[in-house]
Amino acid sequence: MEEEIDAMIRYLATERGLSEAYQLSVRQTLDALAGWLAKRGGGLRDLGTEDLAAFLGQRKRDGLKAASLRITTVHLKVFFRWLAAKGRLVMDPAEPLLAPRPDQTLPETLHAQEIRKLLESIDPTRPLGRRDLAILELFYSSGLRLSELCQARLEMMDFTGGFLRITGKGGKTRIVRVGTKALAAIDDFLHHERPNLVTRRTSSHLFISVRGTALSPDRVRQIVKERARAAGIDQSMYPHLLRHSFATHLLEGGADLRVIQELLGHSDISTTQIYTHVDRQRLKSVHRQFHPRG
C-alpha cells in the first residue's frame, strides 16, 4: 500500500491544496490500515466492505472515540473513492460504510471573569510578556484556531480596519474581527518586543520565538498552559478553550448564530449550534443555583 498512500498524499497536497495537518491525519489512518492488513495477510485489492468494517471495529477496540472513528471513516472513503476513480480498484469498498454519530459532548468554556484573570495576570514589561499577552488576546478576541494563529503573518493584519485575513480549514480565506484590546496588545508587541526577537532568518510570521523563528503549535499550547498556571486557573487549559469561550460569550451577549458561524469559519451551521446547548446548560445551572425551587 505504500505506493498508493504516497500517491494519495501527493494528490491531497498538490491537487486539493489541503493542509499538512490534514495530510498527516490521512496518512496516519492509511498507515494503520496498512499495518492491520499486513497482519491479516492479503492485498489492497482483496479488501471488501466487511473487511473495512472489521478494521474500524478494531480501531474502536483500540480506544478510538466516536469522533475519531468518524474521521477515520471519512479518510477511508476519500482514499478508496480516489483509488476507484483512478482505476486502481474495480469498485469502491468504502462507499457503503456509515460513519458513527459523534458524541454529543459539550465544549468546555471559561467564564468571562476567568478570561479577565488570565489576561490581567500577564505583565507586559516582563520578558515575552507582550508577545504572550498578544497571543491570548487574539485567541479570545477573534476565536482563531491554533493553526490559524500560528500561520498569521504581518501582511495579513489591517490595523486601520481592525481585521485579520486568515486561511482556515480547507484552504478557505476569511476576514476576522480583531477587538480593540487585542489590536493594542499586538501593536505594543510589534513596536516594543518583536524587533528584539528578529534575526536574519525571521519570516513575516506575526508571532515568533526567542530564536526568531515562527512559533510552532506545540510551543503555543505550552505558552497557554504556562500562562494559565501562573494565573492560578485550575481548569485544564488549551488554545481551543479560548475559541469555545469566544463563541459562547458572543452568544450570551446576544450575537446572531449566523454571525458566530462566519466568525468561526464553520461551513455548516450545525457545527456552530453546539454553543446554543452550552448556553442552555449555563442557564439551567444559574436557575438551579438561584431560584428558590430550582
Residues noted as catalytic: 145, 169, 240, 243, 266, 275
72 in the Ramachandran plot: left (φ > 0), alpha (ψ -120 to 50) or beta? alpha
Give the position of cell 486539493.
16
N-to-C CA span, the chain: 60
What residue type is assigned to position 124 of the chain? P
HSE, side-chain direction, 13 A CA sphere, residue 266 = 19
CA 158 to chain centroid, in Å, comes to 23
* Residue 222, SS3 per DSSP: helix
Maximum CA extent, the chain: 69
Cα angle vertex 260, ends 73, 111, to 5°?
Answer: 95
